[in-house]
Structure 1
Amino acid sequence: MNYILFDGPSRNSLLPFTFTRPVADIRVGILTIREKWEAYLEYTTTTITEEYLSEKYPMVEMDENVMINASYLPNLELVEMIKNLKENQAIFKEENVIAFFTKEAQDDIDFENYEAIEFNEDIIEIANTWDIFSKNREAIQEDFALLTKGRTSQPIPASNNIIGAENIFIEEGATLEFATLNAGKGPIYIGKNAEIMEGAIIRGPLALCEYSVIKLGAKVYGPTTVGPYSKIGGEVNNAVLFGYSNKGHDGYLGNSVIGEWCNLGADTNTSNLKNNYAEIRLWDYLTEGFAKTGHQFCGLMMGDHSKCGINTMFNTGTVIGVSANIFGSGFPRNFIPSFSWGGHRGFTTYLTKKAFEVATIVMERRKLEFTSQDKAILEHVFEETKKYRRE
């Protein structure tokens, strides 16, 4: 069977992260949503996404296809139902379609002609940006069970101070010495060739993905995900870093989501609780206004390729677009459009030529290429978000 993950109606509610990737390539828990589906289905997947992303993330369509809404995370019950789908059957959760079997061209789908199958079990849905951190505990636990089932962890070095050793899994090549790991509150997964430096204090759930680093003396509260090739230091609480991003120094990051190729300067601090303890609102690209999150704790949402200088302070519920550069004293406003350059005194446009020079250098450090596809995607984002910038 050919499985295709589609963005679904939540795509715009997941901006700025979906400016540069399909919904399926958001990381929550240990794995990306795509990696989860492929592990459960035991098949590769392709994607239906925005046209400007489709060259990098193409769709492969065959005579028979099962379409899956990428906002939903897989579990055993759902995957079994999907594998048993017949032509013109669709699985729904309340009024939302989760998956359907079709032989038709995508423009011709009419669910009035489908047999509706209701999925009544619990399921994790990533419908808003804040779901990425607020549902990360359950996502880590499910990924931990998936990845470690029937496998044996590498031994925990004796120098470490451990609680709940049975909930710790260490992949080959990982190193950790003289750290404190408390897995009594949730599992701790340490990926291939990852490193936890001396003096780090960690309370699970934690996903430390391959080649990532927790630096000397860091304090990490779960549920936190450190994506591949990332570094964290200082104090981190319930944050998700997608990958290739750094918060390498002292400072606080809490209840936040950081995209790829981001860097937080030394002593950057994010507020995650308002002084009046009120519900936090976040910028909503769909309504072009601030939307209620239902959360009292919410910090920073930072899109890919964005960076901030040393001693940067972010207000509660700040949203930063793609390829922004923030610096200077004082609090910048809590919605910073893509390709903005500046701080609380004001912003100018961060020109694509300069942004692409930085992206090329940063990716070369990881032995990766800033490709023509990457450039075209960012050029599209630059034009699409022009209306938010004060030129």
Structure 2
Amino acid sequence: MNYILFDGPFRDNLLPFTYTRPVADIRIGILTIREKWEMHLGSTITTITEDYLSEKYPMVEMPENIMINASYLPNEELVELVRDLKENQAVFKDEDVIAFFANDTQEDIDFGTFEAIEFDGQVINVEHTWDIFSKNGEAIQEDFDLLTKGRVSQPISSTNNILGVHNVFLEEGVTMEFATLNADLGPIYIGKDVVIMEGALIRGPFAICEHSSVRMGAKVYGPTTIGPYCNIGGEVKNVVLFAHSNKSHDGFLGNAVIGEWCNMGADTNCSNLKNNYAEIRLWDYKTESFARTGLQFCGIMMGDHSKCGINTMFNTATVVGVSANIFGSGFPRTFIPSFSWGGAAGMTTYLTKKAFEAAEVVMARRQLQLTDEDKAILEHVFELSRKFRRD
């Protein structure tokens, strides 16, 4: 069977992260949503997404396909229902379509003609940006169970101080000495070739993916996920970094989501709680206004390729778009549009030519290139976000 993940109705709720990727490629827990479904189904899965993303993320369609709403994370019960889908059947959760059987000849889908299979089990779904960090603990546990089932951890050096050692799993190539890990409150997963430096203090649930590092003396509170090729230091609490991003130095980052190729300058601090303890309002791209979230804690949402300079301060619940460059004293606005350059003193447009030059240098340090596909996506985001800037 051919499986295809589709963005679903919550794509715009997940901006700025879905400016540059399908919903399926959001990381929550240890794996991306696509990687979770692929492991459960034992199959490579493609996506159907926005036209401007489709060259980088193409869809492969067969005569018979099962379409899966990428906002829903797989578990054994749900995967069994999806595997067993037949023609003109669909899986629903309340009024949401989770998955359905489709032929390549079907131009329009009328779910009124489908046999509805109601899924009444527990499932993690991602409808808002803040779900990525607020549901991360559950997602880490599910991925930990999936990745470690039937396997044995690599040995842990005796120089480390470990609580809940049965709940700690190390992949091959890990370097970790004189660190303190507490897995009594949740699992700790350490990926291939990760470096945990001396004096690091880590509480689960925590996951760090391949080729990433935790710097000396870092304080990490769960539930936190550090994606591949990232570096973290300072104080971090309930954060998800997607990949290739750095928060290497002192400073606080909490209840936050950071995209790919981001960098936070030394002593950057991000508030995650209002002084009056009031409910958080967060920029909503759909309504183009600040919307209520029901949250008391929320830090920063930062899109791909954005950067901030040393000693940057961010207010509670700040949304930063794609390829923004923030610096200077004072607190910048709590919504910083994509391709903005500046800070509290004012913003100008960060032209794509300059943004591409910076991205190429950053990516070359990891032996990667900013491709023509990447540039085309970023050019499109530049135009989509123009209305938010004062060009």
* TM-score, normalised via structure 2 length: 0.99
Structure 2 gaps of 5+ residues are none
1:16: which partner in 2? 16
1:193: which partner in 2? 193
Q: Runs of 4+ in structure 1 displaced over 3 angstroms? A: 104-107
2:360: which partner in 1? 360
- SS of corresponding position for 1:61: coil
Change (3 A) 1:106 1:333: farther
The 5 A counterparts of 1:175-194 are 175-194=175-194
Task: Give the aligned length.
Answer: 391
RMSD (Å) for aligned C-alpha atoms: 0.6
Cα deviation 1:318-376 (Å, max 9, x = unaligned): 00000000000000000000000000011000000000001111111111111000000
Cα deviation 1:90-131 (Å, max 9, x = unaligned): 000000000000114464111011001100001000000000
- SS of corresponding position for 2:3: strand
2:226: which partner in 1? 226
1:384: which partner in 2? 384
1:155: which partner in 2? 155
Change (3 A) 1:281 1:106: farther
C-alpha separation in 2, matches of 1:104 and 1:163 = 53
- SS of corresponding position for 1:383: helix
C-alpha separation in 2, matches of 1:352 and 1:20 = 15
C-alpha separation in 2, matches of 1:106 and 1:357 = 44
2:205: which partner in 1? 205
Worse-matched range after superposition: 103-112 or 334-343: 103-112
C-alpha separation in 2, matches of 1:344 and 1:32 = 34
1:42: which partner in 2? 42
- SS of corresponding position for 1:127: coil
- Does residue 307 of structure 1 match 2:307? yes
Change (3 A) 1:106 1:196: farther
C-alpha separation in 1, matches of 2:123 and 2:326 = 37
Which amino acid in the other structure matches residue 21 of structure 2?
R
The 5 A counterparts of 1:336-375 are 336-375=336-375
- Does residue 280 of structure 1 match 2:280? yes
Change (3 A) 1:107 1:332: farther
Change (3 A) 1:195 1:81: same
Percent pairwise identity: 74
Which amino acid in the other structure matches residue 287 of structure 2?
T
C-alpha separation in 1, matches of 2:178 and 2:86 = 55
Structure 1 residue 293: deviation in Å?
1.2
Structure 1 residue 235: deviation in Å?
0.1
C-alpha separation in 2, matches of 1:272 and 1:107 = 46
Cα deviation 1:209-245 (Å, max 9, x = unaligned): 0000000000000000000000000000000000100
- Does residue 265 of structure 1 match 2:261? no
C-alpha separation in 2, matches of 1:50 and 1:281 = 27
- SS of corresponding position for 2:185: coil
1:52: which partner in 2? 52
Which amino acid in the other structure matches residue 241 of structure 2?
L
Change (3 A) 1:107 1:386: farther
- SS of corresponding position for 1:108: coil
The 5 A counterparts of 1:84-103 are 84-103=84-103
Structure 1 residue 292: deviation in Å?
1.1
C-alpha separation in 2, matches of 1:281 and 1:95 = 27
Cα deviation 1:13-42 (Å, max 9, x = unaligned): 000000000000000000000000000000
Which amino acid in the other structure matches residue 145 of structure 1?
D
C-alpha separation in 1, matches of 2:68 and 2:318 = 31
Structure 1 residue 81: deviation in Å?
0.4
2:79: which partner in 1? 79
C-alpha separation in 2, matches of 1:98 and 1:129 = 19
C-alpha separation in 2, matches of 1:353 and 1:89 = 48
